[in-house]
Chains A and B, each alone.
Chain A
Amino acid sequence: MAKVKGAVVVDIEKCKGCGICIDDCPTDTLAFERAVNGKGYHYAYMKAPELCIGCSNCAISCPDTVITVYRVKPERKKTS
């Protein structure tokens, strides 16, 4: 079975760097970025994009709803 591929987009300027998404990610895809955003927070980013399965756990648990999630289904990947 082909693995489901996912990707998340973090609204960097709105992220407050609380790390709850990182704690809640089942595949350890997310991590704190070394750089900071305009507010001075280390925002979340995809450290290991290949691990993301697009489960949207991070987006649901994000208190500030700054995460958007995309996913590619395996059957679609086969046809491409």
Chain B
Amino acid sequence: MDVKEIIAKGDLVYEKTKVLTDKEMHYCPGCTHGTVHKAIAEVIEEMGIQEKTIGISPVGCSVFAYEYLHIDWQQAAHGRAPALATATKRLMPEKYVFTYQGDGDIASIGCAEAIHACNRGENILMIFINNGIYGMTGGQMAPTTLDGMKTATSPTGRTVEQNGYTLDLTKMIAPLPGVCYVARHSADTAAATRKLKRALKKGFENSMKNKGTSFVEVISTCNSGWKMSPVAANEWMRENMFPVFPLGTIKDE
């Protein structure tokens, strides 16, 4: 049985979800943003909530997230996505509201907004893409940059003396009483992406149960910023980032 025959006779096992637009993503080859966008789109399709979902896109590479998912979007100023999501959810409690933010956006510029939205227990899902650097602006050091990691603004490696410790925002947010679900995942392999989808689904469900904020961190790569090939970046992430940011569910109430 050759390939053409399998395609003609076989069952369609996997195709691009209709929630993703046909527009080509502007992300670099191998960027985790694409995989996470797809995971979100597939969860939205599986739950049948395309008409009821509002996403808040951040500032950073994923600022154009609204171009790639066929749902309603708002674009927030630097780091202010949780504030905008708060307003959106309070005005339209029947909608599924989520924010999509990178580490520069949520852990640095928007740290206050993120922590206070979580502390208030807003019924939103916050998705935090952590690649350890500011990807869009050229790979500068972020609060989540690992100790000793070389970036554009720490060419000899980050040091604790000069730059302080790596910020673990997810761990910081987990003890807050307003937060009902905190998990950390990755999207480097198909298995990891499937786990991420389950976490996102749980987050969306929680946002309708008035349980509080759900927070899902995705450990990602920025192969252009890290100056590696996409596959090497994934391996580097597994070796260096997973020990500092261990994967798993941190809080589930």
Contact = CB atoms under 8 A, between A and B. Distances in A.
Interface of A: 5-7, 9, 14, 16-20, 22-24, 41, 46, 49, 54-73, 76-77, 80
Interface stretch (B31-39, B123-131, B149-157): B31-39
B10 A7 contact: yes
A46 B3 contact: yes
A5 to B, nearest CB: 6
A75 B230 CA distance: 38
B172 interface: no
A41 B229 CA distance: 13
Interface in B22-53: 24-25, 27-35, 38
B32 A63 contact: yes
Interface residues of B, number: 39
A19 B16 contact: no
A54 B229 CA distance: 26
Given A20-B234, A63-B33, A67-B14, A7 B7 contact: yes
Contacts of A68: 12, 14-16
Contacts of A58: 190
Given A24-B190, A63-B32, A70 B231 contact: no
The prevalent SS among residues of B at the interface is: mixed
B20 interface: yes
B189 interface: yes
Given A7-B6, A14-B24, A64 B34 contact: yes
A54 B10 contact: yes
Contacts of B209: none
B159 interface: no
B38 A71 contact: no
B190 A56 contact: yes
Contacts of A69: 12-15
A14 B38 CA distance: 15
Nearest to A76: B9
B2 A49 contact: yes
B13 A23 contact: no
A65 B15 CA distance: 8
B11 interface: yes
B188 A41 contact: no
B1 interface: yes
A60 B12 contact: no
Nearest to A71: B13
A71 B33 contact: no
Given A57-B190, A72-B1, 9 more contacts: A5-B10, A56-B190, A63-B25, A63-B27, A63-B34, A64-B25, A64-B34, A65-B34, A70-B13
B140 interface: no
A25 B162 CA distance: 43
Contacts of A9: 7
Contacts of B16: 65-66, 68
A65 B29 contact: no
B119 interface: no
A70 B230 contact: no
B1 A5 contact: yes
